[in-house]
Amino acid sequence: MPFNEKLDAFMKLLLVKSMRPEKLLGGIRVYIDATIGKIFTQSPVFDLAAAFNDSTSTTPIIFVLSSGADPMVYLLDLAK
């Protein structure tokens, strides 16, 4: 508890790095949120219609999917 009041955000990040290096990625996210804002750590919402408007026959849309991601519903809605 005393570390919360005495240390600034960067010092807390250094402490996390030295004591729990496996938690550093989460600590960096907290540091960025605290210093420059959450907008830099949040992923933007994917807009398939805008991506489709940007694509051409020579610049196709390529989906890189993670497990559990299924863009088929969005594709069918766009096709309608």
Buried b (16+ CB within 10 A) or exposed e, 29-68: eebbeeeeeeeeeeeeeeeeeeeeeeeeeeeeeeeeeeee
What's the rounded mean pLDDT across residues 34-61? 87
What's the rounded mean pLDDT across residues 2-28? 91
Residues 16-39 have pLDDT tens digits of: 999 999 999 999 999 999 999 999
- Residue 1 has a pLDDT of 65
What's the rounded mean pLDDT across residues 52-70? 84
Residues in the chain: 80
Residue with tokens 């919402």: 45
- Residue 17 has a pLDDT of 95
> pLDDT higher for 11 or 47?
11
- Residue 73 has a pLDDT of 85
